[in-house]
Amino acid sequence: MVAQANSQAVKILEVADDPRLSREVKAFLKVLNSSGVPLETLPPVEARQALVDAQASVEVDLSGIDESEKTITADGYSIKLNIVRPEGVKGTLPVFMFIHGGGWVLGDYPTHKRMVRDLVVLSGFAAVFVNYTPTPDAQYPQAINEIYAATQWVAEHGEEIGVDGKNLAIVGNSVGGNMTTVTALKAKEKGGPDIKLQILMWPIVDANFETDSYQQFGEKRFLTTPLMKWMYDLYTTDLEKRKEIYASPLQATIEQLKGLPPALIQVAESDILRDEGEAYGRKLDEAGVTVTTVRYNGMIHDFGLLNGLAEVPAVRSLFVHAAAELKKYLQ
């Protein structure tokens, strides 16, 4: 289902010469590619800090929210949750879980706070950000198990944090999108919790580095092929485990996908993960799942995360669309 690259090598265009990249993205990549070293050459701790520093270097709007924390014990795991609500709004609110990206290695609440803030402000709902254990401190499938346990806890104990656990969606970017739909798969298998909507932002859904989009965009576009391979190796080097549906949900059968929650899938034109995200949308549709897949032209991987691109029109639009879907499915 995923477009495979031709046997003849595809030439990756230089950023400055690529008409598929918007002018804002070209300017961003010019700075990114001229400074720093490839993340995959760094120890994980230093790679994490590089993302923290890059995000913190750009001032963004973080107003309009109230924040709190709660550490829960669920299924034997101690998990810290960040709870984000519209500022000054009281009472019990519909809620979405937010599962962050960063290749299972990078990312945390501060690096993703602006994404969460935008969705909370635009939707009027509460968010629960899950601080799962990153790799290499934990390997597949621990992060997934923690996220599922946290989602189940919110569904059953939402009143403890002022949210309606029966009015629940789940959102994630990149590997967070992977673990978002995997949580939906686990919920189907285990008979709950009831997830009303899944939003997958440029998700990783297949351990396949041979698609057309990998061949076209594997260099100098933020998420590179070597970086993705490094992240997978830290998650699991077991090639058989990588084929499991909880690692590569695109490998799920139509029967396994039937009955999953409605889905919004948002992908970037110039992203190595584009083809697999679109293929997953088609497969969900084949399984009878209500799904909308949107490609944002001119954009690169994690364009909605990167604070340096926060004011780009496509980024503003993607959050408006995601918030509208939340309001459609959460009452």
User: Could you give the domains of the chain?
Assistant: 24-329 (3.40.50.1820)
Provide the 8-state DSSP code for 287: T
pLDDT tens figures, 116-126: 999 999 999 99
- What confidence score (pLDDT) does residue 7 get? 42
Annotate 302-319 with b (16+ C-beta within 10 A) or e (fewer): bbbbbbbbbebebbeebb
Residue with tokens 């993960």: 273
pLDDT at 11: 81
Coil/strand/helix, residue 6:
coil
pLDDT of amino acid 36: 75
Tens digit of each residue's pLDDT (9 = 90 or more) over 77-88: 999 999 999 999
Q: With H, G, I as helix, E, B as strand and everything else as coil, classify residue 225.
A: helix
Residues 6+ apart with CB under 8 A from 319: 115, 118, 119, 122, 304
Mean pLDDT across the stretch 230-247? 97
The pLDDT of residue 1 is above 60: no
pTM of the model: 0.96
Average pLDDT of the chain to the nearest whole number: 96
Kindly tell me the burial class for residue 156, based on how many C-beta atoms sit within 10 Å of its own C-beta (0-12, 13-18, 19 or more).
middle
Query: What secondary structure letter does DSSP report for 290?
Result: -
Q: What tokens appear for 325 in the block? A: 């879907």
